[in-house]
Amino acid sequence: MTAKMTSYAERVFELVKKRNPGESEFHQAVEEVLGSLGPVLDKNPKYEKARILERITEPERVIMFRVPWQDDKGEPQVNRGFRIEFSSAIGPYKGGLRLHPTVYLGLLKFLAFEQVFKNSLTTLPMGGGKGGSDFDPKGKSDNEVMRFCQSFMTELCRHIGPDTDVPAGDIGVGGREIGFMYGQYKRIRNEFTGVLTGKALSWGGSLIRSEATGYGAVYFAEEMLKTRNDSFKGKVCTVSGSGNVAQYTVEKLNQLGAKAVTLSDSGGFIHDPDGIDAEKLAFVMELKNVKRGRIKEYAEKYKVKYYEGKNPWGVKCDAAFPSATQNEISGEDAQALLDNGCFVVAEGANMPTTPEGIDKFLKAKILYGPGKAANAGGVATSGLEMSQNSLRLSWARDEVDNRLKGIMQSIHKAAYEAAEEYGSPGNYVVGANIAGFIKVADAMLDQGLV
Ligand code: NDP
C-alpha cells in the first residue's frame, strides 16, 4: 500500500492475519505500519533477530468481561467489556475507552495498536492500550449510563491503576462517563488517584484536555502548511463528526482565521457556506453535549442544507478534518476531495481514511497528516494530566496549551524528518510509523525477551 513490505514484514503480516481471523480493522492497521518499515528493517537486522515485529503485533494482555446492568424498566441487560493492554515498553498502558455498538475485539486491537505508535510520538512516557464496550449510550437515560459505567468499572478497576494502565475517553465516552467510572473506581479501591484522564477540573482534570485533540489536529495541520509557507487564513475547511474532536477542531480553525463549513453525525451532514462561527458552535456544543440531539437540528435552526445519510467529502474545500470514525473516507471520497482542490487532510479520527484513499492522497502529494500523528494531542494532554496529578498541581490554561502546541510541533518534526531520512520526503504516514516504531522497538530490545 504505502510502500512494499520486506519479506520479514510480509511473513509477520501473514501470521497476524492467520492468528487474528475476522479482525479486518486490526489487519488494516498492522498492514499500514508494517508497510512503512521497510527501510528501517533493512538497515537494522537486529529487529528481525529479536522477533520485534512478531512481538509488537501481539498484545501483552487482553481482558474481556461481562458487564451486567439494569435498565430503567428493571430489566437485566448484558454487554461485553474489553481492555487491550497492547504495549508497556515505554510507559503504563494509555488509551481511551469507546462505547459504541460496533465495538468488538478486532476494532479495539486496531485502536490499541495505533495507540502504541501514537503515544511513542508524543515524546511522553506512555505505552498503548484501548478498551470499551458494545454498549450504545444513544437513547439511554443518565441513570442507565451510570449503572452501565459502574458495572463496567467494577471489573475494570482490578486491571488498571495510575502506574499500570490509565484509560481516557473516546467515542461515546466524555465527561459524564469518565465521572461515573471515576466515582466507582474510587469507591472500590478507596484511592483518589490519577487512574483516568479527561476528569473534570474540580477533581483532578487538566485545562485544555477537552480541547486537545481538535486543537492538536489543527496545530499539526498548521505545521504542515508552514512547510509550504502557507497558513489557515481564509481557508475553507470541511469537518466530519460533531463530537468532542470535531467541536474543538472548528473552534481552533475559527481562531486561526479559517472557515469551517460542515459538521456531521451518523445521520448525515450540514453544510453552512457562511461558516460555523463561535455562536453557532456554542449551539452545537449545547445540542450535542447537553441535549444529546442530532446535527439535523442545526440545519433547521440556521436554515442551511442537511444531507441525510451522506458525508461531507463532496463539498469543495482547501482542508479536510475527518473527525468521526474509522474508514469514513473511501477511495472515491478521497478522489472527490482532490478533484475539488483539497490539499490538506489532517485526521482527528483514528484511521478515518481507507487504504485506497491514503494511496490517492500520497500520490497527489498533498499535505496528509495521518491520525496517529495528527490526533496525538488528546493523549499528549492526557499525559500532561497524569503529570499534574502526580505533582498534585494544576497548570494554567496557557501553560497546557503551549505544551500541547510544542508537542504537536515536535511530532510534526519527528515525522517529517523520519520521512526525509528514510527516503520518503513529505510522506507523513511513513515518517510517523517509523519515528513511533523505533522508540518502542529499541525499548523492547533493551528490556530483553518480554
Ligand atoms: P464523540 O463520541 O464525541 O463523537 C463522535 C462523532 O462521530 C459523533 O458526531 C458521531 O455521530 C460520529 N460517529 C461515530 N461513529 C460514527 C459512524 N460509525 N458513522 C458516522 N458517524 C459516526 O467522539 P470523539 O469526538 O471523541 O472521537 C471521534 C474520533 O476521534 C474517533 O475516531 C476517536 O477514536 C478519535 N480520537 C478521539 C480522541 C479524544 O480525545 N476524544 C483522541 C484521538 C482520537 P453519532 O453521535 O451519530 O454517533
pLDDT of residue 408: 98
Answer yes or no: are the C-beta atoms of 84 and 109 closer than 8 Å.
Answer: yes
CA of 282 to the centre of ligand 1 (A): 18
Does position 2 have pLDDT exceeding 70, yes or no?
no
| Closest atom, ligand 1, to C-alpha of 100 | 15
Nearest CA to ligand 1 atom 29: 349
Same fold, 61-192 and 212-365: yes
| Closest atom, ligand 1, to C-alpha of 102 | 18
Domain 61-192 sits in CATH at 3.40.50.10860
User: What mean pLDDT is predicted for residues 309-313?
Assistant: 98
The span from the CA of 230 to the CA of 224, in Å, is 9
130 an active-site residue? yes
- The maximal CA–CA distance of the chain, rounded, in angstroms, is 62
- DSSP, residue by residue, 95-148: EEEEE-TT--HHHHHHHHHHHHHHHHHTTS---EEEEEES---TT--HHHHHHH
Place of cell 502506574: 163
pLDDT of residue 340: 98
Instruction: Indicate whether residue 95 lines ligand 1 (CB < 6 A).
Output: no
pTM over 0.95: yes
Per-residue pLDDT of 30-62, as tens digits, reads 999 999 999 999 999 999 999 999 999 999 999
Catalytic hit among 109, 130, 259, 372: 130
Per-residue pLDDT of 381-438, as tens digits, reads 999 999 999 999 999 999 999 999 999 999 999 999 999 999 999 999 999 999 999 9
User: What mean pLDDT is predicted for residues 155-180?
Assistant: 98
User: What mean pLDDT is predicted for residues 297-302?
Assistant: 98
Instruction: Indicate whether residue 323 lines ligand 1 (CB < 6 A).
Output: yes
Average pLDDT, the chain: 97
pLDDT of residue 81: 99
Q: Is the dihedral of CA 139, 67, 98, 278 positive or negative?
A: positive
Place of cell 518480554: 450
Please state the separation of Cα 16 from the chain's center in Å: 23
CA of 44 to the centre of ligand 1 (A): 38
Answer yes or no: are the C-beta atoms of 311 and 240 closer than 8 Å.
Answer: yes
User: What mean pLDDT is predicted for residues 125-141?
Assistant: 97
Does position 301 have pLDDT exceeding 80, yes or no?
yes
- Domain limits, the chain: 7-49, 61-192, 212-365
CB burial of 211-220 (b: ≥16 within 10 Å; e: otherwise) equals bbbbbbbbbb
Nearest CA to ligand 1 atom 43: 375
- The pLDDT confidence band at residue 129, using thresholds 50, 70 and 90, is very high
Instruction: Indicate whether residue 103 lines ligand 1 (CB < 6 A).
Output: no
The span from the CA of 400 to the CA of 390, in Å, is 15
Per-residue pLDDT of 345-373, as tens digits, reads 999 999 999 999 999 999 999 999 999 99
The span from the CA of 20 to the CA of 22, in Å, is 7
Question: Ligand 1, from 25, 118, 140, 244: best to mutate by most atoms within 8 Å of Cβ?
Answer: 244
Does position 1 have pLDDT exceeding 60, yes or no?
no
- Is 94 exposed, middle or buried, given 0-12, 13-18 or 19+ CB atoms closer than 10 A? buried
Instruction: Indicate whether residue 375 lines ligand 1 (CB < 6 A).
Output: yes
CA of 53 to the centre of ligand 1 (A): 30
pLDDT of residue 4: 74
Instruction: Indicate whether residue 242 lines ligand 1 (CB < 6 A).
Output: yes
Nearest CA to ligand 1 atom 32: 349
User: What mean pLDDT is predicted for residues 9-31?
Assistant: 98
Nearest CA to ligand 1 atom 41: 170
Task: Identify the CATH homologous superfamily for domain 212-365.
Answer: NAD(P)-binding Rossmann-like Domain (3.40.50.720)
Per-residue pLDDT of 69-124, as tens digits, reads 999 999 999 999 999 999 999 999 999 999 999 999 999 999 999 999 999 999 99
pLDDT of residue 164: 98
Instruction: Indicate whether residue 169 lines ligand 1 (CB < 6 A).
Output: yes
Instruction: Indicate whether residue 381 lines ligand 1 (CB < 6 A).
Output: no
CA of 171 to the centre of ligand 1 (A): 4
Does position 3 have pLDDT exceeding 80, yes or no?
no
Question: Which amino acid is it at 391?
Answer: L
